[in-house]
Chain A
């Protein structure tokens, strides 16, 4: 089923980094460097290239994210799809991650947008399993806020 654009939400994370865009571009597009800060991968900076990010598998989640390179504008913009994999692929997460690098006086403004979140998939089973792993870290803080 196609979703109207209004039914999806986007997440934006932005940060100023005291490094030139060229250097950040390398960290975003060279497989071994990507692995150091994000995940194991077989990324290639070629539009149309299909690749995976691989995290540690756990029950009910194979740890794999299916991706395809959508945009490569060296030192400026990089975009890839970020989708659920395996048996969850059909009804799971279907998003697009876009990196935008803008030179500034002291370095680079780094913007990451993940778009295409659909409210109905927030409650899927894989989400619950994956969410557990992600959410443990912040639990004490959240619980403290309940008082």
Chain B
């Protein structure tokens, strides 16, 4: 079972690749060209990143005429999701914020 999370983590470890995935997750389906315009790397590099994401199941592609459209599959992140550990991180960060607020508040 370790293999799946490892592949997911590794595919998302690269900042450019992660930015591509986040953009697809946030903005919906896009073409390679549209992604290249904003990725700051060449089109072959973007295609290579998309291939890695596709292998990890994080994106899906769809051909339409001469263009390939990519979209995110956030459900591929399932193996990484543990509600309790996510909330543990969430609440620790909120505890920090609470303390910052308390330090600013009057008695």
Contacts and interface: CB of A to CB of B under 8 A. Distances in A.
Interface residues of A, number: 43
B97 interface: yes
B82 to A, nearest CB: 6
B74 A117 contact: no
Given A59-B25, A114-B87, A27 B105 contact: yes
11 contacts: A11-B84, A13-B88, A20-B107, A24-B102, A27-B105, A37-B97, A110-B98, A117-B84, A117-B87, A139-B12, A139-B18
Q: Would you list the 7 A-B pairs with minimal beta carbon distance, nearest first?
A: A37-B97, A131-B81, A143-B13, A37-B98, A128-B77, A13-B91, A134-B86
B28 A59 contact: yes
B74 A11 contact: no
Interface size class of B (residues with CB under 8 A): 35 or more
Contacts of B75: 125, 128
Interface of A: 9, 11, 13, 15, 17, 19-20, 23-24, 26-27, 33, 36-38, 58-60, 93, 110, 112, 114, 117, 121-123, 125, 127-132, 134-140, 142-143, 146
